[in-house]
């Protein structure tokens, strides 16, 4: 069976809540559908939810979910990237990726500690620092990285780097211990001490923050769960897409695909994609809309949005705009979409208005719709500040 690029774009618009008729009820549903919202830049969470939730959505509703209801949780996961997950997806992520990421964090720390003359027992230092953090947070208190280092001498270690160069300096090891503990699911970024578009998390015990211990899951079962969710929203996708997106191995991905009984389909651009067995292109599909066309509409997505970053092989929605949208290390900037494709970018002017930056000739309908959506975003943001972290190449010099 063949799935065309147009069918893939229609599927993505419907299932990623980008089609106006398929909006999510709230940020929690949006995060569940997208298998997490990127959170490296704090404002991305709110903007990604705004693009997918219906009218009346507010920034405060995201903060309520994160810090009061705690139905959304920040966690270091796929590709060692910070995401926001609902609790069930969080458990699956920790099961699938926690052992791999936490072990990688520990290995990288050991490498740097062994190169430093200031640490006689690198393995002992990591374990002592780890236990000190867990003991300090066992009472339920929330403390920033700086506060933890001030309280815990065992955590306040530094390594020197760049000796004899212009970038020589000292780097604290404490934050890296915290990331290791986050990846394994022991601690979590709790309250944010800054505004919605900035980040200064206070760390706390994950079981105490959630009020429960998440169910444990094997690496294989976690992979199966995450890949099933991914295919529901992003499918069809290739093995290459899944290995990259998860930051995992071909062996683990292939085992999960076999367990799920996925069906192989041909893709218009060549290669083989996978779909779930109840989501074939010759049926109505899981969303009830089949693979028929979606009415062209304007979409504005933030940097590192999960739709932009959801695939390794992006040609069916990115075209030839890779060098303009993605920086040299693969971070995608703010994007403007029309008819299921990236056709431009956007940026916020000093007067808080939003300007569309076309990357190709736009039809009159496309330009009008994108400008109207830009006005909606500008009104939603108001005069609130918004800090971005990864400017796209097209935005340089603006």
Domain boundaries, the chain: 298-395
Sign of CA dihedral 350, 356, 395, 24: positive
Calculate the CA 283 to chain-centre distance: 31
pLDDT tens for 148-175 read 999 999 998 898 877 767 776 888 999 9
**Residue 113's closest CA among 126, 103, 104?**
126
Kindly report, residue by residue over 220-234, the tens digit of the pLDDT: 999 999 999 999 999
Residues 6+ apart with CB under 8 A from 283: 290
Residue 363 — very low, low, confident or very high, per pLDDT cuts 50/70/90? very high
Please give the span between the terminal C-alpha atoms of the chain, in angstroms, as a whole number: 45
Count other Cβ atoms within 10 Å, centred on residue 307.
25
Over 60: is that where the pLDDT of 64 sits? yes
Confidence of residue 315 (pLDDT cuts 50, 70, 90): very high
Asked if the model's pLDDT at residue 287 lies above 60, the reply is no
Least confident window among 108-122, 247-261, 285-299: 285-299
0.75 exceeded by pTM: yes
DSSP code string of 341-387: EEEEEEEE-TTS-EEEEESS---HHHHHHHHHHHHHHHHHHTT----
* Closest C-alpha among 237, 231, 266 to residue 4: 266
Mean pLDDT score, 313-328: 97
* Choice between 165 and 314, residue whose per-residue pLDDT is larger: 314
Distance (Å, whole) CA 178 – CA 105: 10
Q: Nearest CA to 54 among 19, 81, 82?
A: 19
Q: Are 303 and 390 in contact (CB under 8 A)?
A: yes
Q: How far, in Å, CA of 273 to CA of 315, rounded? A: 14
């Amino acid at each position: 069976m063949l799935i065309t690029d147009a069918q893939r774009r229609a599927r993505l618009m419907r299932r990623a809540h980008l089609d106006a008729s398929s909006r999510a009820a709230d940020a929690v549903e949006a995060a569940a559908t997208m298998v997490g919202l990127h959170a490296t830049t704090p404002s991305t969470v709110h903007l990604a939810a705004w693009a997918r939730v219906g009218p009346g959505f507010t920034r405060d509703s995201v903060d309520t979910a994160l810090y009061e209801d705690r139905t959304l949780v920040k966690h270091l996961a796929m590709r060692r990237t910070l995401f926001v997950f609902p609790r069930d997806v969080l458990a699956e992520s920790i099961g699938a990726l926690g052992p791999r990421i936490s072990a990688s964090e520990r290995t990288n720390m050991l490498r740097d500690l062994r190169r430093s003359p200031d640490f006689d027992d690198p393995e002992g230092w990591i374990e002592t620092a780890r236990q000190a953090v867990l003991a300090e947070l066992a009472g339920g208190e929330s403390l920033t990285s700086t506060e933890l280092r001030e309280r815990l001498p065992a955590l306040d270690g530094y390594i020197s780097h760049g000796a004899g160069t212009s970038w020589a300096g000292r780097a604290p090891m404490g934050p890296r211990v915290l990331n290791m503990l986050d990846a394994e699911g022991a601690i979590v970024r709790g309250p944010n001490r800054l505004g919605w578009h900035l980040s200064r998390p206070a760390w706390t015990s994950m079981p105490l923050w959630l009020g429960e211990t998440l169910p444990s899951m094997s690496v294989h079962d976690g992979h199966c769960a995450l890949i099933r969710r991914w295919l529901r929203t992003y499918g069809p996708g290739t093995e290459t897409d899944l290995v990259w997106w998860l930051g995992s191995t071909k062996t683990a991905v292939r085992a999960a695909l076999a367990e799920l009984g996925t069906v192989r389909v041909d893709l218009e651009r060549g290669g083989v994609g996978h779909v779930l067995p109840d989501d074939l292109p010759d049926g109505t599909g899981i969303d009830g809309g089949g693979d028929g066309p979606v009415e062209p509409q304007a979409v504005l997505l933030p940097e590192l949005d999960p739709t932009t970053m959801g695939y390794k092989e992006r040609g069916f929605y990115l075209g030839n705009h890779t060098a303009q949208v993605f920086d040299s290390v693969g971070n995608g900037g703010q994007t403007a979409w029309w008819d299921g494709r990236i056709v431009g970018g956007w940026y916020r002017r000093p007067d808080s208005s939003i300007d569309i930056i076309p990357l190709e000739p736009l039809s009159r309908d496309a330009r009008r719709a994108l400008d109207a959506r830009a006005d909606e975003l500008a009104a939603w943001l108001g005069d609130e500040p918004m800090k971005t972290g990864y400017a796209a190449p097209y935005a340089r010099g603006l």
